[in-house]
Structure 1
């Protein structure tokens, strides 16, 4: 059995002269949560719709759960759950009828449908309003119903496009819990989001796409280390005694914030050298740590910054 839930190879798609996706290649492992990032117009939605068989790419190959999307789209769709960014519910139908409508697309007995709908409505907190028409729901309640709809077939792979967009904190918390539960159950989650702290919190790995090309992919820690190697290290040091003058060829700037505290900007991780140097001069180190960038720092500086050059 393949260890990849998603394999995208050399995916290309153009609209006239505009190339939305340009030779995109990446893999998503079974059972992992993969965050897909990029600015507006980067090609995220085109990639997702190609993965779902909704858009036919100009070139490349897509495999989902070990099956070729071009050859077995219906079999694939039976095993995935998809939540579009701007999905809507059927307002004239009740919460129960909305889920029943989608359950009818899958091979489920009446008893299985009833049990699944009951389970999901309770899970998303809509059991008490199951017979109310969806048009009377708040945006958050509608999103809860859409989440239940996405899970109706107990999918092996969840593809979520901006799943917390416009939600209140309670609704966003529910979405994150669904993602965590899916991972705990061994399912795979592929999701895009503009909330970078959310991606950092939930993802095992991320992919960053800009102008149709993949700029970075891997565990967040690895991407941050690559960023620091390129942009430099920010090292905070605090000592018991006043800090003496520090000289090293890789130090680009030193900011003293107190007689015994400083922030050192360096081209490499000089903590080991710094520790030995200060200790040899009789200086007691109280703390010595690298200020790790957030995913937002990496995203803004390495993606938007480079694109402006």
Structure 2
């Protein structure tokens, strides 16, 4: 079994009386896209900075690419690409010079640097403005340049904090394409985002952190199933004929939409029982399925306990 790309064990960090991260344990597999979610102040940034050895935890340990971040920070940085949420660029330098500056931190020949910078500027759509000073760029163009900078050392692991922040739809689409391509090339991507649809669209697995604690982790399907087991099931039923009165010990509420359509709220998945009951009544079943919650439902209702309040 290969080592996980990210291994976090019992990570704990406090600032005075505030416990920013509380006994967090997490594994991220090689080659997967992992979405990291949480409200403001949940501990996302402290977790990421601990992963990068920029914050020293009170307890716990972090390994990236099989290396302890406190023992081999230089080797890790050579294989890592990091995009902070509020990263800045050198406004007085051109797009080309910005990337050249960061390429100089890595062991590259001049020919390799030129090839890599050319490739990246074309990749993020900035080739035509490569000799313009970065201070003249729009916010979206600056973010594209920062993303190119993140890829400068051809990293195996990408840690991206709000990578589509400030981008227009075209720019956001580009970043999402680059994340998918990174996975296709065998890279591991760990990213945080406030855009739930983006996390749902891109992630192989998701972790949700609240008040420093990891509340849920798994595939979207796994997390949604956990949610339904806690919150109950919404079963949509539609028949050709009018529905009879439906009773079952697991039903908590029935919401009639039309004489032949209803939503049944139940503690467990009772579709098999409903199917049998309706068939015995001689009804033709047109629809009998579960309304799967969205990631937004899970995030708001499970994490906050109420619909976004």
- In structure 1, the partner of 2:229 is 229
Map Cα deviations across residues 71-115 of structure 1 (whole Å, 9 max, x no partner).
000100110100000111110000000000000011110000000
Q: Secondary structure at the match of 2:5?
A: strand
The alpha-carbon deviation at position 166 of structure 1 amounts to: 2.2
Correspondences of 1:130-279 after superposition (within 5 Å):
130-279=130-279
The alpha-carbon deviation at position 67 of structure 1 amounts to: 0.4
Q: Does 1:56 align with 2:56?
A: yes
C-alpha distance in 1 between matches for 2:234 and 2:14:
41
The alpha-carbon deviation at position 280 of structure 1 amounts to: 1.4
C-alpha distance in 2 between matches for 1:14 and 1:295:
29
How many residues are paired up?
309
C-alpha distance in 2 between matches for 1:42 and 1:259:
46
- In structure 1, the partner of 2:38 is 38
C-alpha distance in 2 between matches for 1:46 and 1:230:
29
Q: Name the Cα RMSD after superposition.
A: 1.5
The alpha-carbon deviation at position 206 of structure 1 amounts to: 0.8
C-alpha distance in 1 between matches for 2:124 and 2:67:
31
The alpha-carbon deviation at position 124 of structure 1 amounts to: 0.4
The alpha-carbon deviation at position 2 of structure 1 amounts to: 3.1
- In structure 2, the partner of 1:68 is 68
Q: Secondary structure at the match of 1:4?
A: coil
C-alpha distance in 1 between matches for 2:84 and 2:5:
19
Q: Is the 8 A contact 1:80 1:156 kept in 2?
A: yes
Q: Is the 8 A contact 1:90 1:134 kept in 2?
A: yes
Q: Secondary structure at the match of 2:108?
A: coil
The alpha-carbon deviation at position 3 of structure 1 amounts to: 3.1
Map Cα deviations across residues 192-214 of structure 1 (whole Å, 9 max, x no partner).
00111110110111111111111
TM-score (norm 1): 0.98
Specify every segment of 5 or more residues in structure 2 that has no aligned partner in the other structure, as ranges: none
C-alpha distance in 2 between matches for 1:163 and 1:223:
24
TM-score (norm 2): 0.98
C-alpha distance in 1 between matches for 2:45 and 2:247:
50
Q: Secondary structure at the match of 1:97?
A: helix
Q: Secondary structure at the match of 1:25?
A: strand
The alpha-carbon deviation at position 288 of structure 1 amounts to: 1.1
The alpha-carbon deviation at position 220 of structure 1 amounts to: 1.0
State which drifts further: 17-26 or 141-150: 17-26
C-alpha distance in 1 between matches for 2:241 and 2:18:
61
C-alpha distance in 2 between matches for 1:272 and 1:172:
43
- In structure 2, the partner of 1:302 is 302
Q: Is the 8 A contact 2:241 2:283 kept in 1?
A: yes
C-alpha distance in 1 between matches for 2:250 and 2:165:
43
Map Cα deviations across residues 40-97 of structure 1 (whole Å, 9 max, x no partner).
1111000000101111111111000000111000100110100000111110000000
Q: Is the 8 A contact 1:2 1:66 kept in 2?
A: no
TM superposition outliers: structure 1 runs of 4+ over 2 Å: none
